[in-house]
Amino acid sequence: MDESTKSIKNTNTDEFTPRVSLHYHEARSMRRRRLEMLRRSIIYAGIAGLVAWLLLGYFTDWTGVVARCSSSSGHRTGLWDIKCTKKCSEQFEWDDVTPTRHLIYHSCYDGLECARLDVPMDWNRTDGKGARVAIAIVKIPAKVPVTDSRYGGPVLINPGGPGGSGTYLAIRSGRDIQTVVDAAESPSQITTSSSLYYDIIGFDPRGVNLTTPHFSCFPDAFSRQVWQTQLEAEGIIGESKDLSNVLWTRAKALGEGCSRSMINGEDGNIKNFMNTSPVVRDMVEIIERHGEWRETEARHYLANSGTRLSLKDQSMASSREAILERTRWRKGEEKLLYWGFSYGTVIGATFAAMYPDLVGRVVIDGVVDTPDYYQGGWLHNLQDSDLIVDKFCEYCSKAGPDHCPFYTEGGAEGVKTRFERVLSSLKKQPIGVPANAAEGAEIVTWTDARVLIMNSLYVPYEQFPVVAQILLETEQGNGTSLARIKRSRRSPACPNTECRRAEPYSQWCMRPGENNFEVKAGILCTDGESLLDDTREDFESYLSELRRQSKWVGDIWAHIRLECVGWDPRPKWRFTGPFGGKTAHPMLVIGNTLDPVTPLRNAFNVSSRYANSVVLQQDSEGHCSLSAPSLCTAKTVRNYFQTGELPSPKTVCDVDARPLLGTGKDEWRGESKVKSWEDTVLLNTLKRLMKSVFSG
Ligand SMILES: *[C@@H]1O[C@H](CO)[C@@H](O)[C@H](O)[C@H]1NC(C)=O
Ligand SMILES: *[C@@H]1O[C@H](CO)[C@@H](O)[C@H](O)[C@H]1NC(C)=O
Ligand SMILES: *[C@@H]1O[C@H](CO)[C@@H](O)[C@H](O)[C@H]1NC(C)=O
Ligand SMILES: *[C@@H]1O[C@H](CO)[C@@H](O)[C@H](O)[C@H]1NC(C)=O
């Protein structure tokens, strides 16, 4: 593929008018229609996709993404199956791309650009030998060429996890994220040079999805699936008696298997190199190589356009020399632009501690308490979780029977009582869902309801209506919808002949993304202290502490640490702090009033350790700011990227809608009617982001 022609195309800025689709739905519709919509949304939207997000506890690992069994063996590589919709021969394949030490981009995913950056697995190896890692990168090109004075550089993004795929985030949400950080005006409309337009770069951290080598604790997809199915049947801690012997023994066995896996990596084994510190070093490499790429691009552009510099370029006084100076690779001084969510805030805060001088603009959103994370504590997460369950009851009661199917008399307390009653009866008596022509028999359990509820706390605006409907059905002894959601998290493990013939842990046996299950543990267990010496009694008391913190999430949360009790591999290099300091430019730190897993207090705590950073509070429930649409937050983030300005301390941003107060997903009661065109575009972008970021 020819990468040299690529950025020239982007000079036609008119192609990039934001895609807007306005829905002016009737605010008043019949209750029946609402419920019908809701049912459909349960069927089609599900919540299976809440995957990549931090700290998602338990069986949210079922990705359901990659492993479609294809009946034909026609796929060239056999590594993974892409559902061909268009011309197959022209389909972008990551396998076709040779990893390079310079950034070389290839067209991919309908107007995006993809690269595989080759970096040493072990950054401490100085002999230039040893295993390599190929970082998968997806770029949403800026709306102006690098030669334009309004070109702002690349904003790196990370969706959390750990284990979340940045390439996937870029593909599904990158353009909308770009709309938030870019200047509001289309580049063709203005002549001032103060507006900035950014590339968005999503990358898969080590071990994750399309970055190679993959990491795996299982010889093949089938054995992983068998294991996961058994875990699913076991349920969360608390489904049977407290921490069953079975769960503890399973955790030990899984960890031991992971520790022994990937035996054939004499040159360096990924299991010792997927913790956050080398990932941060990889990011330095990405921005450095981007600087190099930018300079090359600019030279290329100037050589090709020669005397044909457009009128617009000239009117901006972009003389050749000015362009060359502006785009010059500043070796060792390229700055990081970044927006990280959830576990992505660990990456951001770690980068800021390790390379404070390279911080250009860094937004950390949904803040993990870094020291607690690196201790492997997971004790600073659930402080506000149960308050969001209370909010569910409050909103349901306020919304009334027309908007909340689970409504009951007696105010929020009434709803709460009914809520607890449904849960405890489900604990005593799971619901059977008989097989039909399309699907096998299923049972839905207390665990399933608990997982549903926990997931809904991440994005109440989308999921509270679903929870209300499902609780109602469950109360009536109908498990159909919940079973559907449960099924949607699974994906078939395909028979794979290449794998059977290949070496143990061969790349043939690892479809990208399928190993998410163990990658998450691979990252967080090696970031944290070793828990190998923890006894079952230690764990029991840890569990009680989490339960004390949160009645609704504690049990599920305990599984995170449980996954590490059998985990032996240690990272070769682990930055241990201090996690704070004075960055070249202060960070913007965002926290929601009530976040289920990254409470607001973390934002203040982390911010207090980085000089001049400022906390922006978004007055909403949910995980990270994108879980609720707020023009105020979006404009603050935009302004930060445009001008570097931080909001004044103690700024609180309101949101532009409340959950459940409009049931249908496209109805937003309480949204003010009159808005500028700009605001309408931005709000629609935020609504799309809320959906795309939280669903697969
Ligand atoms: C590994 O390299 C990093 C920088 O790349 C350095 O900060 C760290 O001290 C090194 N660790 C060892 C054990 O050499
Ligand atoms: C159970 O719920 C589903 C989905 O809402 C519905 O289609 C079905 O008719 C219900 N079954 C019974 C027996 O009410
Ligand atoms: C891996 O990335 C590809 C492309 O970026 C995406 O389609 C796929 O869903 C991702 N898989 C996971 C598990 O994130
Ligand atoms: C911040 O966290 C540390 C421990 O990680 C704790 O000792 C301290 O009290 C916290 N400070 C605030 C302001 O919450």
Model pLDDT for residues 554-585, shown as the tens digit of each residue: 999 999 999 999 999 999 999 999 999 999 99
Count each helix (H run) and each strand (E run) in the chain, helices first.
22, 12
460 inside domain: yes
Ligand 2 pocket test, candidate residues 41, 472, 480, most atoms within 8 A of CB: 480
Cα-based distances in Å from 308 to 276, 303, 452: 46, 10, 59
Does any domain span residue 431? yes
Write out pLDDT tens, residues 228-276: 889 889 999 988 776 778 999 999 999 998 888 766 566 789 999 999 9
> Ligand 3 pocket, 517 CB below 6 A?
no
Sign of CA dihedral 381, 382, 384, 387: positive
Write out the two tokens for 278.
């080398």
Tokens of 156: 């790196």
533 contact partners, CB below 8 Å, separation of at least 6: none
CB 32 within 8 A of CB 424: no
pLDDT at 7 over 80: no
Which residues sit with their C-beta closer than 6 Å to ligand 4? 369, 371-372, 601, 604-605
Task: Give the residue, by CA position, lying nearest to ligand 1 atom 10.
Answer: 124
Rounded to an integer, what distance in angstroms lies between the CA atom of residue 522 and that of residue 519? 5
How much distance in Å is there from the Cα of 380 to the middle of ligand 4? Answer: 9
Residue 488 tokens read as 């949607």
Query: How distant, in Å, are the alpha carbons of 393, 416, 550 from that of 419?
Result: 8, 5, 16
User: Which residue type sits at 211?
Assistant: T
Length of the chain: 696
How far apart are the CA of 605 and the centre of ligand 3, in A?
A: 33
pLDDT at 378: 96
- Asked if pLDDT for residue 174 goes beyond 50, the answer is yes
- Is 92 within 8 Å of 114 (Cβ atoms)? yes
37-48 b/e (C-beta count within 10 Å ≥ 16 → b): bbbebbeebbbb
pLDDT tens figures, 429-442: 999 999 998 899 99
| Band of residue 508 on the pLDDT scale cut at 50, 70, 90 | confident
Q: CB of 623 within 8 A of CB of 595?
A: yes
What confidence tens digit (pLDDT) does each residue in 71-90 have?
A: 333 333 333 334 433 344 46
For residue 572, the ligand 1 atom closest to its alpha carbon is: 13
What is the reported pLDDT for 206? 97
Q: Establish whether residue 168 lines the binding site of ligand 3, counting it when its CB lies within 6 angstroms of any ligand atom.
A: yes
Please confirm whether the linkage preceding 460 is cis (ω < 30° from 0).
no
Query: What letter does residue 212 receive in the DSSP assignment?
Result: B
Q: Whose CA is nearest to atom 3 of ligand 1?
A: 124
> Does residue 111 lie in a domain region?
no
Say yes or no to pLDDT of 1 above 50. Answer: no
CA of 210 to the centre of ligand 3 (A): 7
Least confident of 7-11, 322-326, 460-464, 561-565: 7-11
pLDDT computed for residue 641 by the predictor: 98
Whole-number Å distance between alpha carbons of 404 and 418: 13
**How large is the average pLDDT for residues 288-298?**
97
Closest-CA residue, ligand 1 atom 2, reads 124
- Please say if the pLDDT value at position 637 is more than 90: yes
pLDDT at position 191 is 61
From the CA of 202, give the closest atom in ligand 3.
5
Is residue 627 lining ligand 2, measured as CB closer than 6 Å?
A: no
DSSP string, 581-592: B--SSPPEEEEE
Give the nearest ligand 3 atom to 65 CA: 9
* CA 597/CA 599 separation, integer angstroms: 6
pLDDT at 40: 52
Using the predicted structure, report yes or no on whether residue 163 has a pLDDT greater than 60.
Answer: yes
Evaluate: CB of 169 within 6 angstroms of ligand 3: no
Spatial neighbors of 77 by CB under 8 A, at least 6 apart, are 93, 95
CB 41 less than 6 A from any atom of ligand 2: no
Tell me how far the alpha carbon of residue 10 is from its chain's centroid.
27
Please count the other Cβ atoms lying within 10 Å of the Cβ belonging to residue 223: 14
Q: Which residue has the higher pLDDT, 309 or 630?
A: 630
Residue 170 CA: which ligand 3 atom is closest? Answer: 5
| Per-residue CA distances from 396 to 356, 399, 469, 477 (Å) | 46, 5, 11, 21
What mean pLDDT is predicted for residues 322-339?
96
Q: To 10 degrees, the CA torsion angle through 661, 425, 553, 559? A: -140
C-alpha to C-alpha distance for 596 and 611, rounded to whole angstroms: 27
Residue 666 near residue 154 (C-beta atoms within 8 A): no
Distance 535 CA to ligand 1 centre (A): 32
What angle, 0 to 180 degrees and rounded to 10, lies between the N-to-C axes of helices 221-234 and 245-260? Answer: 160
Compute the distance from residue 447 Cα to the ligand 4 centre, in Å: 33
Say which DSSP state 61 is in: G
- What token pair was written down for 580? 């704070």
- Could you give the residue ranges of the DSSP H alpha helices within 359-511? 370-375, 385-399, 411-428, 446-458, 460-475, 480-488, 497-501
Number of Cβ within 10 Å of residue 673's Cβ equals 6
- Average of per-residue pLDDT across 638-657: 95
**In the predicted structure, residue 507 carries a pLDDT above the cut 90:** no
Pairing of strands 614-621, 652-653: parallel
Q: How much is the pLDDT for 184?
A: 93
Closest-lying ligand 2 atom to the alpha carbon of residue 481: 4
The answer to whether 167 and 115 are in contact (CB under 8 A) is no
CA distance linking residue 340 with residue 201, whole number of Å: 12
Q: Of all protein residues, whose CA lies closest to atom 9 belonging to ligand 4?
A: 605
Residue 469 Cβ < 6 Å to ligand 2:
no
Of residues 566, 552, 556, 490, the one with CA closest to residue 521: 566
Give the span between the Cα atoms of 243 and 540, in whole angstroms: 7
Name the nearest CA neighbour of 477 among 440, 439, 428, 435: 428
Q: In angstroms, rounded to a whole number, what is the distance separating the alpha carbons of residues 155 and 398? A: 40
Tokens 């459940």 locate to: 660
Apex CA 113: angle with CA 112 and CA 116, to 5°? 145
Q: Are 336 and 317 in contact (CB under 8 A)?
A: no
- Is residue 483 assigned to a domain? yes
**Please, what is the average pLDDT of the chain?**
84
Within a domain: residue 439? yes
| pLDDT tens digits for range 194-233 | 899 999 999 999 999 999 998 989 888 888 889 988 988 9
What is the mean predicted confidence (pLDDT) over 425-431? 95
The helix, strand and coil proportions of the chain, stated in percent and rounded to the nearest 5, come to 45, 10, 45
Kindly state the average pLDDT of the residues 641-664.
85
Query: Does residue 471 lie within any of the structural domains?
Result: yes
The Å distance, Cα 134 to ligand 1 centre, comes to: 20
Question: Which uninterrupted H or E stretch holds 151?
Answer: strand 151-158
Task: Report the domain count for the chain.
Answer: 1
Measured from the CB, is residue 572 less than 6 Å from ligand 1?
no
Count of other CB atoms within 10 angstroms of residue 1: 13
pLDDT of residue 658: 78
Q: Which residue has the tokens 């989308």?
A: 462
Give 121 Cα–ligand 1 centroid separation in angstroms.
Answer: 13
Looking at per-residue confidence, does 193 or 332 come out higher?
332
- Counting ligand 2 atoms within 8 A of each CB, the residue from 41, 439, 442, 478 with the most, and so the one to mutate, is 478
354-408 pLDDT, tens per residue? 999 999 999 999 999 999 999 999 999 999 999 999 999 999 999 999 889 999 9
pLDDT single digits (tens) 46-76 = 333 333 334 333 333 322 222 334 333 333 3
- Please classify residue 83 by burial: count the beta carbons closer than 10 Å to its beta carbon, then call 0-12 exposed, 13-18 middle and 19+ buried: exposed
What's the 3-state SS for 396-420?
Answer: HHHHCCCCCCCCCCCHHHHHHHHHH
The number of the ligand 4 atom at minimal distance from the alpha carbon of 608 is 13
**Which range, of 4-8, 519-523, 616-620, 673-677, averages the lowest pLDDT?**
4-8
Q: Does residue 183 sit within a domain?
A: no
Does any domain span residue 169?
Answer: no
3-state secondary structure (DSSP) of residue 130: coil
Evaluate if residue 97 carries a pLDDT over 80. Answer: yes
Q: Which ligand approaches the C-alpha of residue 120 most closely?
A: 1
Residue 476 belongs to domain spanning = 387-488
DSSP bridge pairs for 617:
591, 652
Residue 62 or residue 672, greater confidence: 672
Q: pLDDT by residue (tens digit) across 20-56?
A: 222 323 333 445 555 565 555 544 333 333 333 343 3
Report the pLDDT value the prediction gives residue 432, as an integer from 0 to 100.
Answer: 97
> Is residue 309 scored above 60 in pLDDT?
no
Ligand 1 site, residue 123, Cβ cutoff 6 A: yes
Q: State mean pLDDT over 489-511.
A: 76
